[in-house]
A = this chain, B = another copy of it.
């Protein structure tokens, strides 16, 4: 990728759910060191953070979050990263979980996840029609025979969802059932998720255009007993579906695939503990059919207007099914206000 990335157009956001970030920062040093890094410390975490020197970095803690005043949004656990999205002043944000290290590609080269995410965001997405040879803008690729010429310009990509080697992002059931399974398949592809198609976005390794999508990138859906493991959460999956609906409505693109990161081991025993109280199956059984049939009117021309429409539909259709959906809508509405007061402007 010969794509040019300006240092001042990207922030890296790291959610600190555990104190020792030394291994994380040392492993990512070659790729992170030119960028500003926002570390948001889980407000539930008491210990001091350990971060090696040599980075342009700012740590935000419970007291910084407190500046927002009374808010219905819960920034604890994995949701603390969203505070970083709010205080960033850059056009793009990249967020990678604390237990993820750089992966190697099929040729043994270490993957620069920053560069790959930026390439995904800066080259067009093609959501109207599926290109069988995957990303047509990749070097050596193109649109195949039969791909409509009038759709080859594509649209702007707003969201880039990366993947994970070794420990895949499974729900607690799958972690328990397949406790020894590790993902070793490095699939060398990026693809646009077509219009109208929903996918479960993972917040583990993700990048987006903050200027445009910021108002919808909120920690809205929280399970009642949410722990500190990824499998405890669905906030990112919900967020991804909201973002996808908004992108579909406004004519923006969403990509998935490269870059991979390597995720450290899950502990199946802990997954079993989570599972005992996990309401995720029940919740998502309501969420999926809802999003499957959801289509915004197309009248909204801004992300904010799309959210207004979306929250009103969610409140009406999902609200009565489970109190956590009403809470999610509250959080989304609160977020758009926070975005106006504390977010918005890029550098």
Contact = CB atoms under 8 A, between A and B. Distances in A.
Interface of A: 106, 128-134, 138, 140-151, 161, 163, 168-171, 174, 178, 181-189, 193-194, 196-202, 230-231, 234, 237, 240, 256, 281, 284-285, 287-288, 292
B183 A133 contact: yes
Given A129-B288, A199-B130, A142 B181 contact: yes
Given A150-B285, A194-B197, A144 B106 contact: no
Nearest to A190: B187
B132 A200 contact: yes
| Identical copies of this chain, number | 2
B288 A142 contact: no
A256 B194 CA distance: 14
B171 A231 contact: no
A187 B258 CA distance: 12
A140 B147 CA distance: 32
A150 B185 CA distance: 25
A144 B132 contact: no
A292 B240 CA distance: 24
Contacts of A133: 163, 168, 183, 185
A199 B150 contact: no
19 contacts: A129-B200, A129-B292, A130-B198, A130-B200, A133-B163, A133-B168, A133-B185, A142-B181, A143-B174, A145-B169, A145-B202, A145-B234, A146-B202, A146-B240, A149-B281, A150-B285, A151-B288, A194-B194, A197-B197
A303 B74 CA distance: 51
B168 A144 contact: yes
Nearest to A189: B187
B285 A200 contact: no
A131 B131 CA distance: 17
A174 to B, nearest CB: 6
A1 to B, nearest CB: 14
A140 B174 contact: no
A326 to B, nearest CB: 21
A110 B284 CA distance: 41
Contacts of A285: 148-150
Nearest to A234: B146
Contacts of A200: 129-132, 144-147
Nearest to A204: B145
Given A128-B292, A132-B199, A194-B196, 19 more contacts: A130-B197, A131-B199, A131-B200, A132-B163, A134-B187, A140-B182, A142-B170, A142-B181, A143-B170, A144-B170, A145-B169, A145-B174, A145-B200, A146-B202, A146-B237, A146-B284, A147-B200, A188-B188, A194-B194
Contacts of A183: 133, 140-141
A196 B197 contact: yes
Contact of A145 (B132, B171, B182, B287): B171
B141 A185 contact: yes
Contacts of A256: 130, 132
A42 B234 CA distance: 56
Given A189-B187, A189-B189, A196 B199 contact: no
Contacts of A202: 132, 144-146
Chain B CB within 10 A, most for which of A144, A196, A288: A144
